[in-house]
Amino acid sequence: MSENVELVRRTFEAVCRGDLHDAASGFHEQAAWHNTADFPGPRTCVGPRAIIDFWKSLMENFEQPEGGTEVERAVESDEAVVLAVRSVGRGKASSVPIDVRWGAAFHVRGGRITRVDVHGDWAKALRSAGLAG
What pLDDT, in 10s, does the model give residues 50-84? 998 888 887 788 887 776 889 999 999 888 999 99
CA 10 – CA 17 distance, rounded (Å):
11
Give the separation between CA 49 and CA 20, rounded to whole angstroms: 7
CATH number at residue 70: 3.10.450.50
d(CA 104, CA 112) in angstroms, rounded, equals: 16
- Any domain includes 116: yes
- Total number of domains in the chain: 1
Residue 77 placed within a domain = yes
Domain-embedded: residue 108: yes
pLDDT in tens, 97-116: 989 999 999 999 999 999 99
133 located within any domain: no
* Residue 133: predicted pLDDT: 56
The answer to whether the predicted template modeling score (pTM) of the entire model surpasses 0.75 is yes
Average per-residue pLDDT for the chain: 89
56, part of any domain? yes
Distance CA 23, CA 40 (A): 21
Could you give the angle at which helices 48-59 and 3-17 cross, rounded to 10 degrees? 50
Q: Domain span at residue 123?
A: 3-128
